[in-house]
Amino acid sequence: MKELQQYVHDLPLHSLVFFSLVEATANLVDVSEQYWKSKGLNGARIRILVEIMKEGGTILPSMLAKRIGVTKPNITLLLVPLENDGFIRRASHPQDGRKTVITITSEGQSLLLQNLPENRERIAEKMNTLEEHELKQLLMLLEKLQRT
Amino acid sequence: MKELQQYVHDLPLHSLVFFSLVEATANLVDVSEQYWKSKGLNGARIRILVEIMKEGGTILPSMLAKRIGVTKPNITLLLVPLENDGFIRRASHPQDGRKTVITITSEGQSLLLQNLPENRERIAEKMNTLEEHELKQLLMLLEKLQRT
DNA sequence: ATTATTTAGTTAAGGGCTTAACTAATTGGA
DNA sequence: TCCAATTAGTTAAGCCCTTAACTAAATAAT
């Protein structure tokens, strides 16, 4: 009991880093999500539109799932409101009947043009406690952390 | 169109850091959640138990909500299975009838003792691409990032 | 050529969180 | 003292994601 209470208090370095990562990231994600929410949108739908643009305006749902790191059923669910709002269009693939070609509309592109810069700005502001060299250092450490 | 495509590709430093934080954190959280899932548990319930221990074995739901950073209704939902599994116990506060005193049971304490060390170990392993001095540096940067 | 396997996408069910609305108990001000 | 306001917790509804099960189309194997 006493030992357990002490154990949960005395965190080793790895755990301290882990909890700091979780907290810092949650705060930044929150800034971003709040921004999208204020526009009646959400981050997941925006990531879909961004990924379509990265591919040149057209993509398959299965590719979206891989790129964004969510399941295929989730992509289906995300595409429904995007289509209803006119930000994307579906079409069946001419050669392969299993596939659905997703295309971003001009409305979808406008949405990104009008909102991405401000969203980036909000996130950047939240990071303004760090100098540029510190951001670079942080990026380097995070990339090294990711090298399995 | 062309400019937009370029815009979504050319990320400024702040955005690079943001996306790296999100990705690295998601991978670590995943390791932790997978561990708890393999034991038929989940991270949120464990955090509750840990927080009760930090308070000395007894706490109020509203305090849990503040400490863990979730809503009060969510605490209610999290406590139900914890009570059903015998990891916590509820009792009404003797002085203030609105309050419910939550107490961790010995089973709950055993659960932590038997699993927290291995969970920490799994997370630490995932971080083994970083040297100790790099972990310290990372921690320092994350803490500076958090200073609003 | 026909059938089995694989691939793409959707539908269904459920988990985990949120906000909004509610009940019950306590506190505080006229 | 009594009623309004606050506080604690729960219930209800809904969002967003997951896994499992399904349909349809294409590919591959005998």
Instruction: For B58-75, write each residue's pLDDT tens digit.
Output: 999 999 999 999 999 999
Long-range Cβ contact pairs of A72-77 (< 8 A, separation 24 or more): A74/A44, A75/A48
Average pLDDT over chain A, rounded to whole? 96
Q: List the B50 CA – D4 C1' distance (angstroms).
A: 39
Closest chain B CA to residue A31: B18
Mean pLDDT of all residues belonging to chain B: 96
- Could you tell me the distance in Å between the CA of residue B97 and the C1' of nucleotide D3? 20
The answer to whether A74 CB is within 7 Å of strand C is no
Distance from CA of B37 to the nearest CA of A (A): 18
Of B8, B130, B132, the CB nearest to A50: B8
Stated pTM of the model: 0.94
CB contact under 8 Å between A12 and B139, yes or no, is no
Angle of helix A132-146 versus helix B13-38 axis, rounded to 10: 40
Which residue is closest, via its CA, to the C1' of D24?
A: A98
What residues contact residue A126 under an 8 Å CB cut-off, 6+ apart? A27, A28, A31
Q: Rounded distance, CA A122 to CA A11, Å?
A: 32
* Residue A84 pLDDT class (50, 70, 90 cuts): very high
At B123, the pLDDT band (50, 70, 90 cuts) reads: very high
Report the pLDDT value the prediction gives residue A3, as an integer from 0 to 100. Answer: 87
- Please give the Cα distance from A32 to A112 (Å, whole number): 14
User: Tell me, in Å, how far CA of A80 is from C1' of C8?
Assistant: 17
A90 CB contact with strand C at below 7 Å: yes
Q: Domain of B56?
A: 2-147
pLDDT band for A49, please (50, 70, 90 cuts): very high
> Apex CA A107: angle with CA A104 and CA A112, to 5°?
80
Share of chain A above pLDDT 90, in %: 97
Residue B93 has pLDDT above 90, yes or no: yes
The domain total for chain B is 1
Instruction: Note the CA–C1' distance, B73 to D24, in angstroms.
Output: 43
The DSSP secondary structure of B119-140, one letter per residue, reads HHHHHHHHTTTS-HHHHHHHHH
Give the domain CATH number at B9. Answer: 1.10.10.10
Closest CB from A15, A20, A109 relative to B142: A20
For residues A29-52, give the mean pLDDT.
96
Mean per-residue pLDDT, B139-148: 95
pLDDT number for residue A2: 72
| In the predicted structure, residue A53 carries a pLDDT above the cut 80 | yes
In chain D, which nucleotides are within 7 Å of a protein Cβ? 7-13, 15-21, 24-27
User: Which member of B12, B69, B120 has the closest CB to residue A12?
Assistant: B120
B74 touches strand C (CB under 7 A): yes
Q: Which amino acid is at B124?
A: A
Choose from A29, A141, A147, A148 for mutation: most chain B CBs within 10 A: A141
Q: Which residue of A has its CA nearest to B6?
A: A54
3-state DSSP assignment of residue A31 = helix
Containing B37, the helix (H) or strand (E) segment is: helix B13-38
Look at residue B1 and tell me whether its pLDDT is greater than 90: no
Q: Tell which A residues from 17 to 46 touch B, by Cβ distance under 8 Å.
A: 17-18, 20-29, 32
Q: Which nt sits closest to A72, CA to C1'?
A: C9
**pLDDT classification of A141: cutoffs 50, 70, 90:** very high
Q: Stated in angstroms, how far is B131 CA from D20 C1'?
A: 42
User: Could you write out the DSSP letters of every residue in A76-133?
Assistant: HHHHHHHHHTTSEEEEE-SS-TT-EEEEE-HHHHHHHHHHHHHHHHHHHHHTTTS-HH
Banded pLDDT at A1 (limits 50, 70, 90): confident
Contact (Cβ atoms closer than 8 angstroms) between residue A21 and residue B21: yes
